Amino acid sequence: MKNTIKNIALTAALTFAGATAGAQSLTGYFMDNIPNVNIYNPAFNPHCKVYVSIYDVYAGVGNSGFAIKDMFQHTKEDKYIIDLNQIYNKLKKNNYQFADFNVQLFNFGFRIGEGYAHAGVSLRGYESFAYPKELMKFKDGTYFDKESSIDLKGFDIKANAYYQYSFGYSWEFSDKINFGAAIKRLQGIANARTKKFDLQLTTQDDMYDISLKSDVEMQFACGADIEFAYDEKGMIDSAYATNMDFDNMSKKDKKAMMKTKNGGWAVDLGMTYKFDNRLSFAGSITDLGAIKWKKYGKTLEQSGTFDFTGVDIAKYFNDIDSLGTVMKDSIAAFATPKDNGKAYTDWLHTKIYLSAEYEINKYIDLGMMFRGMWYSKHFHPSLTTSVNFRLGKATQISISQSFVNRRANVWGFGYSQQMGPIQLYFIVDQFSPAFWAMNGSKMAENWVKKTNMATFQTGMSIIIGRQKYYEKALFE
């Protein structure tokens, strides 16, 4: 029973404390027999004449600040309790939490002349949350023995969901060089972000006096036309959608809420260079673009100073409603949020890839890939090494190790299998949870506790006209 409870606790912790690869798995980069490998670099050519993707699903979650083992303290009673002090000690000045998904609704490609054309439709989304180490000071409450200040300037939230319509082409410029490009039409579904977040809390050394200064600007948009109702003091009292009446909405109206008129564009650019028969290099930049949120876009602004010196609880002991009124009036004096319907532009999380691949023979190759992402106003690098095997005419296995989110314990595994024209594959970055579930050993458990990232990707495609390069394999 104790082990069952422990396993449930660790599994739940993994759900909230993983780390992500950013809409494409790290291990999948070197799985070149998967046709939609061109999502990493539009210059990558699938090794077949035609492919049609039936489905492709990706999901990842993560946190850069701490791993699972940093969250819990093991007591003498064989129980696990959340250890806020240990979490605080593991945090850096700036920390990040991330989650994303990508559902490929339709994708196909075909060889044409000296190049390869591809097109697809995807539903994509992500959220990122940046938080400073200062935020965790609230674990000790808001009273300190001497004057203290908590600066939350590094706080940042961003969430985005949109449809993507992509059209790409790779051109075999020569025997050594390939160029590729993809243009993407973006159709926004919903967006939220903090454009500015300056918040500082200062506590005095006498009693419980608190001074809060803020200068905050948040923007959001979706298919609903959100309006605010204000009270007599100018405070936002409630929010409602003027265009939402689900009981009387037609299917057309509901569909319009998912496909808003907030549009944008993005591009992918890439190239490959074959140095000799064994060594090759590649570089690309993806998701370089933005969505303009002009339909139902809102901006909330708040700035001011709130000085709280406490209230006489005894005075309101028998009149809680009056105490609530006093507290509300104190907050109302702090600042009055303002909203406007101005359009705004939000950029995607752009990524760059640089890689080298060395072919030991026709069956085994080694790869190294650097990836950098921009989000939450910072650049986030990762480094992946990979060994890739072809164990049969239509089988590929990839094993990788990545340094990401300040840790080098991210092991990935990818497997693809073709049966006739049908190809199936699955990829995981950080397979320690699966290994732990099958193994149950102390080593596997310790491995899981060090986890701070997890991604999963799976798909199915129809492959036609596979090239002879894949007719040879390690095992016939």
Query: What's the confidence (pLDDT) of residue 353?
Result: 97
Please count the other Cβ atoms lying within 10 Å of the Cβ belonging to residue 249: 14
Tokens of residue 211, six digits:
């001074």
Mean pLDDT, residues 97-124 taken together: 91
Query: What's the confidence (pLDDT) of residue 323?
Result: 43
Residue 420 pLDDT exceeds 60: yes
Q: pLDDT (tens digit, 9 = 90+) per residue, 250-294?
A: 666 666 566 678 999 999 999 999 999 899 999 999 999 999 998
Measured in whole angstroms, the distance separating CA 122 from the mean position of its chain's CA atoms is: 16
Q: How confident is the model at residue 207 (pLDDT cuts 50, 70, 90)?
A: low
Q: pLDDT (tens digit, 9 = 90+) per residue, 22-37?
A: 446 889 999 988 888 8
Q: What three-state secondary structure class fits 452?
A: coil
CATH level 2 (architecture), domain 2-223+260-297+341-471: Beta Barrel (2.40)
Query: What's the confidence (pLDDT) of residue 236?
Result: 64
253 Cβ contact partners less than 8 Å away, ≥ 6 residues apart: 243
**Is the torsion defined by CA of 372, 375, 380, 385 positive or negative?**
negative
Please state, in angstroms and rounded to a whole number, the distance separating the CA atoms of residues 357 and 364. Answer: 11
What is the per-residue DSSP string for 216-271? EEEEEE-SS-EEEEE-TTS-EEEEEETT--TTT--HHHHHHHHS-S-EEEEEEEEE
Query: What's the confidence (pLDDT) of residue 299?
Result: 82
Backbone angles phi, psi at 475, to 5 degrees: -120, 125
Mean pLDDT, residues 176-194 taken together: 94
Query: What's the confidence (pLDDT) of residue 160?
Result: 93
- The mean pLDDT of the chain is 77
**Least confident interval from 47-56, 91-100, 113-122, 170-179:** 91-100
Measured in whole angstroms, the distance separating CA 352 from the mean position of its chain's CA atoms is: 15
**Least confident interval from 271-275, 294-298, 394-398:** 294-298
Q: How confident is the model at residue 392 (pLDDT cuts 50, 70, 90)?
A: confident
Mean pLDDT, residues 449-461 taken together: 80
Q: pLDDT (tens digit, 9 = 90+) per residue, 328-385?
A: 555 454 455 666 777 889 999 999 999 999 999 888 999 999 999 887 777 888 899 9
Query: What's the confidence (pLDDT) of residue 20?
Result: 40
Query: What's the confidence (pLDDT) of residue 7?
Result: 44
Partners of 453 in beta bridges: 62
pLDDT above 90 coverage of the chain, percent: 33
Tokens of residue 252, six digits:
């057309």
Q: pLDDT (tens digit, 9 = 90+) per residue, 135-164?
A: 777 666 555 555 567 777 778 889 999 999
Residue 314 pLDDT exceeds 50: no
**pTM recorded for the entire structure:** 0.79
Tokens of residue 3, six digits:
């082990």
Query: What's the confidence (pLDDT) of residue 129?
Result: 85
Residue 310 pLDDT exceeds 70: no
Instruction: For residue 12, give the H/E element and its range.
Output: helix 2-17
Q: How confident is the model at residue 204 (pLDDT cuts 50, 70, 90)?
A: low
Nearest in space to 458 (alpha carbons), one of 422, 420, 419, 414: 414
% helix, strand, coil for the chain, step of 5: 20, 55, 25
Cβ atoms of residues 32 and 67 within 8 Å: no
Nearest in space to 164 (alpha carbons), one of 48, 287, 60: 287
